[in-house]
């Protein structure tokens, strides 16, 4: 497949898990109606962003894979003939939970999963309380629309993750995301954060000669116990293999983007900018160190 019509669903989320999933499915249907063969959903699209607090009660939101949400989304994938990248709170076993992306093939089957590898622990992003780091590695998932290099949110800051997916033959990099700012932060700081976020993923596109797809959530989500919360900044986007912006969603509204991604351009760009050829793999041993003291 040379040109892949890709849908990106950006949505607000509430405490109502069923309503969130219904909104995701509505977005998938809208994208499919516009010809999308691949549809990407945002991080944890079925739940509120519960990681603002450390509360054991939120583990009740988790579910197995396969499980209820993946079954429902698989049925939608089969009905519409689309590949879906979903993001779920996975219950692997009692006391063992992951932030997991599941890829549903166009026939409804599970093509594969990716468990988030890099787990943040910052104010309002207390993910280490909930999520065990992934143990599958950085392996692209083979589908009828290509080899999907699926990563999740905090992974997007790490060039190593993008590079390993590229080295394993990914046709594109995909980042379901949940990122925003505290409304109390100064406007100039908010803009710096969003610019850094976008620049980082565009850099992964350039360094690896691959298109990048990012689906971010939008809207304000209140803190469960305090008069505060997070404003998710939306801005979902798709870029080409030179980091060129193909489409970007608004910051503060729900939307469904459909973008044609030319997968042939990666070959042309890599011939012109042969970064993989020129890597000094004989000199990179120290990358496995935490820091050079």
| Catalytic residue set | 43, 116, 153
Cβ–Cβ < 8 Å for 212, 78: no
Q: From residue 97, how far is each of 27, 88, 100, 144 by CA, in Å?
A: 27, 10, 9, 29
| Helix or strand (DSSP H, E) at 53 | none
Cβ–Cβ < 8 Å for 249, 23: no
Which tokens is 61 given?
Answer: 């939101």
Which tokens is 119 given?
Answer: 């787990």
User: Which residues lie below 8 Å from residue 56, measured CB to CB, with a gap of 6+?
Assistant: none
Strand, helix or coil for residue 198: helix
- Nearest 5°: the CA angle 215, 118, 100 is 55
Cross-strand bridge partners of residue 167: none
Buried b (16+ CB within 10 A) or exposed e, 143-163: bebbebbbbbbbbbebeebbb
What CA–CA distance (Å, rounded) separates 246 from 205? 12
Rg (CA), the chain: 18
Cβ–Cβ < 8 Å for 116, 125: no
Which tokens is 205 given?
Answer: 């596109």
What CA–CA distance (Å, rounded) separates 224 from 240? 39
Which tokens is 178 given?
Answer: 């949940």
């Amino acid at each position: 497949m040379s040109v892949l019509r890709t849908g990106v669903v950006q949505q607000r989320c509430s405490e109502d898990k069923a309503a969130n999933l219904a909104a995701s499915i509505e977005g998938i249907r809208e994208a499919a109606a516009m010809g999308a063969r691949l549809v990407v959903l945002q991080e944890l699209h079925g739940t509120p962003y519960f990681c603002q607090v450390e509360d054991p009660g939120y583990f009740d939101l988790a579910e197995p894979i396969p499980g209820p949400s993946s079954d429902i989304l698989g049925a939608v994938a089969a009905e519409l003939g689309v590949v879906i990248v979903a993001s779920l709170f996975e219950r692997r076993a009692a006391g063992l939970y992951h932030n997991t992306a599941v890829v549903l093939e166009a026939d409804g089957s599970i093509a594969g999963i990716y468990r988030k590898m890099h787990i943040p622990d910052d104010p309002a992003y207390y993910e280490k309380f909930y999520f065990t780091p992934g143990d599958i590695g950085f392996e692209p998932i083979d589908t009828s629309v290509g080899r999907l290099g699926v990563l999740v949110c905090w992974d997007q800051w790490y060039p190593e993750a993008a590079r390993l997916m590229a080295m394993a033959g990914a046709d594109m990099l995909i980042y379901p995301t949940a990122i925003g700012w505290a409304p109390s932060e100064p406007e100039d700081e908010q803009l710096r954060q969003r610019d850094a976020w976008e620049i980082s993923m565009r850099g992964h596109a350039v360094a690896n000669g691959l298109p990048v797809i990012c689906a971010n959530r939008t809207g304000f989500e209140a803190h469960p116990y305090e008069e505060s919360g997070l404003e998710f900044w939306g801005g979902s986007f798709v870029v080409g293999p030179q980091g060129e912006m193909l489409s970007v969603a608004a910051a503060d509204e729900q939307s469904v983007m459909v973008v044609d991604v030319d997968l042939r351009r990666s070959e042309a760009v890599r011939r012109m900018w042969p970064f993989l050829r020129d890597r000094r793999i004989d000199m990179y041993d120290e990358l496995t160190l935490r820091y050079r003291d």
